[in-house]
Structure 1
Amino acid sequence: MTDTSPSYLRRLGTWDAAAIVIGGVIGGGIFRSASTVAERTSSGWELLLLWAIGGALTLAGVLCYAELGARRPQAGGIYIYLREAFGQLPAFLFGWTMALINYPGSVAAVATTFADYFCAAVGLPVLWVKPVAAAAITFIVGVNFFGIRAGSRMLNVFTVLKLAAIAMLVATALVLARGHLGMALAPDPAHQARPWDFLGALLPVLFTYGGFHYLNDLAGEVREPQRTLPRALGLGLAAVVLCYLLVNFAYVAGLGHAGLAASRAPAADLMQRLFGDAGARVMAIGIACSTFGYCSIAIAGGARVLQTMGADGMFFRAVGRIDAQSRAPQVALAVLGGWAIVLVLSGSFGQLLNYTTVGEWLFHAFGIATLFWYRRRFAAEPAPYRVPFYPVLPFLFVLTVLGVIAATTIDSPGDAGMSLLLVVLGVPVYLVWRAWQRRGTA
């Protein structure tokens, strides 16, 4: 029997796809995590080197995702690769951990960050933060109900605003650094980092580069995916690396290495030094735009994973439906957005994110590892794009991610243990779900 159910339409071009990469990576992290990296380094040059190394390592993963996306240009991303390479259980565990816990948790966290900065910029009291965050999620879900083009247009606007905020930061730093740039980049005699601090500083750098996988979740809606996906992933991440280097250069140039290490809000502190409270308010608007754009991508990408799980029978069938007119997974969008709003209002997302960080990076490692399976299983099949320096790049990425997981486990054994426990708890859920399905079809 022919399947006549609606499917996704390929409406995203190269710029739309690159904007998803930029918006999915650049959220709120770069406006906070630079201080943590500065605390663990001893000079501005060392700080910039770390961000360059993190960008190079992430690029290795992006090139691997480019081949995976070109081989399987379908909605669902890692879920699809794990299902084909390793079977339904690993794919379900990914969906269980990411689509049901991590994605809505990260949306709740970043939406709350958006609301914090938005309320500060317009002068609303703290009491308004949760309602504004919930309203932002509702608005994003509503726009995405009309399809990927509507969501993409909104994202493109916020990506431009995000890049404008970064350009403003860099310009402000160059004005503040007149005549003493060399001093700002020189080693800080009051802060001598230990050799292992350098490795520890790589953790927040890599976490800030996370989010590049969202485009693969939306691969089923990319035009000419075999050509567009590799190009958009490469262009998008190149833009991200450039932005991160420029932003960190701006922080060091404007605040100095010691000032950056001591700052808890370096972007706002930098703007305030030159423009006072008005500058800090403008930067708050820029950060709000950046975090809002990230939420849009996380909701759109996460909903596609949920929809693919529903269509596979790994979640409720209704969630697997695609609207015939808009070609959007409206039920999946409503489920993900509604759960994220519950997390916002309950304030329980912070610990959830801590508990899923290790699991997220573990699935990144397994996702890239499927490339070895595809290369062996389909050795005779012509590939539209092949990652260069295979198998060095995928092996390097997997090894680096496992190193990050090990370092995180040593640094935070409680959170790492809970993260792995959440993944393992998905096994009995999967078994119960499959048993319930078999009973329902008997």
Structure 2
Amino acid sequence: MSDSSTSAGYIRRLSLWDAALIVVGGIIGGGIFLNSYIAAQRTSSGLTLLLVWVGAGVLTLLGALCYAELGARRPRAGGSYVYLRDAFGPLAGFLFGWTMLLVIYSGSTAAVATGFATYTAAVFDLSPNTVRPLAVGGLVFVAGINLFGLRLGAQIQNLFTLLKLLAVAMLVVCGLVFAGVGGGSQALAPDPARAGIGFMGAALPVLFAYSGFTYLNNLAGEVREPQRTLPRALLLGMLLVIAAYALVNIAYLSVLGHAGLAASPTPAADVMQHVAGPIGAKLIAIGIAISTLGFCNITLVSGARVLQAMGEDGLFFRSVARLHPRHHTPNVALLLLTAWTCLLAISGSYGQLLDYATFGDWLACAFGVGTIFWYRRHDDGHAPLDFRIPGYPWPPLLFIATVGLIMVLSLHDSPVNTGIGLLIMLAGVPVYFTWRRLFSAKGP
């Protein structure tokens, strides 16, 4: 079993600060700015809405704790691909990489790039016809930055993340302080127009906003002292994200109320418009554009590491396994993932891409978390670990059971889009066996 972080020639350059900002930047994209109104439409009150956001955050934190131990055990490029390959065999690893390329990372990145383009067009009063070209231009821009080394990409990503946190802080302060929190209790009251609505329908759009907590593990081969750094970065980043999401939703509800939030596809802009007028709306639109572009940067960079690890194992084209001799970056893999993502951004709608990506992403997360049981049986006693999941085995069991329930309900509520995502994943089975027959694959 090869160690991708060594044999492939990656250099460990990412500090704890870099890694924590990657966690934050990989989760906070456009979801908190774009999806709260969808979640409000699918809940019966502001209180229920907040409970969904906080509950999803706690669920994600459980998954992040599991990935913290997985990263400490296998600090290699490839993340979930490596864990699934080790625990369940090369077919499982291939299916993750296949779905990651076609749906999970590419779909979520294309969806968020569309959000970036929408807000950019709004800031500069551009025609709606410019949205798709802008989405493609943004993807090409962030991919181009990372062709010249992870150090440069990390510095720019840190800037993106700090700016998006500034946008979140501005939104929270304006929503809570200037608009006042006096209407908060009323905002948490039941919404008569949505009486009797459950809350499971809100799960997918909220979980989409939390997607991305696994991205840092894909870059584990480039993190300094990964056994110590990965767990700390994941815990720090997740706590910051949960707090930010809760405060932003409280700000939305304080200004717009639950009914107003459910009627607003651009709640952040509407809050700032209410508090600070057109200037405020334009400022938050700029912040959202930066936030979404930073998310796209992380997904493309981390996804390229998965393809590189697959290529090294012979489960994908050998060319994608090559690193640039000077920059130590998987440039072929990065360009391939970017090209496919651009095609999705041109051809797909935001809603469809969101459902495809979220279903596949969280299903993969559940299986990834499940690998912790295999590692506990096979690895324990071989080497000491700096981090172990507290309360094991309950956190991974609770995570897997909850995600499994959400996936079943999602198939019931949105059978077409989620079913298509599942079929795309299963279509990788014959592709895998065909690939192994046609190409001389090196065993993992």
In the alignment, structure 1 residue 320 sits paired with structure 2 residue 321: yes
CA 1:49 to 1:119, structure 2 compared with 1: closer, same or farther past 3 Å?
same
In the alignment, structure 1 residue 293 sits paired with structure 2 residue 306: no
**2-structure distance, mates of 1:376, 1:429:** 31
Q: How does 1:152-231 map to 2 (within 5 A)?
A: 152-178=154-180, 180-188=182-190, 190-191=192-193, 193-194=195-196, 197-231=198-232
**1-structure distance, mates of 2:350, 2:438:** 30
Identity %: 54
Corresponding residue of 1:83: 85
Cα offset, 1:10, TM superposition: 0.5
Corresponding residue of 2:147: 145
**1-structure distance, mates of 2:210, 2:426:** 26
In the alignment, structure 1 residue 415 sits paired with structure 2 residue 417: yes
**1-structure distance, mates of 2:262, 2:10:** 46
Cα deviations by residue, 1:255-303 (Å, 9 ceiling, x for unpaired): 1222112212110110111222222111111110110000000000110
Corresponding residue of 1:113: 115
RMSD (CA atoms): 2.2
Cα offset, 1:184, TM superposition: 3.3
SS at match of 1:12: coil
How many residues align? The count is 438
SS at match of 2:198: helix
Kept in 2: contact 1:357–1:419 (CA 8 A):
no
CA 1:227 to 1:5, structure 2 compared with 1: closer, same or farther past 3 Å?
closer
For structure 1, the 5+ residue unaligned runs are: none
Corresponding residue of 2:377: 376
Q: How does 1:394-405 map to 2 (within 5 A)?
A: 394-405=396-407
Cα offset, 1:331, TM superposition: 0.8
Cα offset, 1:419, TM superposition: 1.8
Kept in 1: contact 2:117–2:132 (CA 8 A):
yes
Cα offset, 1:439, TM superposition: 9.7
In the alignment, structure 1 residue 96 sits paired with structure 2 residue 88: no
Kept in 2: contact 1:99–1:305 (CA 8 A):
no
For structure 2, the 5+ residue unaligned runs are: none
Cα offset, 1:438, TM superposition: 3.5
Kept in 2: contact 1:362–1:402 (CA 8 A):
yes
SS at match of 2:199: helix
Corresponding residue of 1:329: 330
**1-structure distance, mates of 2:217, 2:235:** 13
**1-structure distance, mates of 2:353, 2:30:** 18
Cα deviations by residue, 1:22-68 (Å, 9 ceiling, x for unpaired): 11111111112212222333433332222222111111000000000
Cα offset, 1:395, TM superposition: 0.2
**2-structure distance, mates of 1:134, 1:36:** 25
Cα offset, 1:125, TM superposition: 1.9
Cα offset, 1:248, TM superposition: 0.5
Cα offset, 1:162, TM superposition: 0.5
Kept in 1: contact 2:359–2:421 (CA 8 A):
yes
CA 1:407 to 1:327, structure 2 compared with 1: closer, same or farther past 3 Å?
same
Kept in 2: contact 1:97–1:356 (CA 8 A):
no
CA 1:190 to 1:6, structure 2 compared with 1: closer, same or farther past 3 Å?
closer
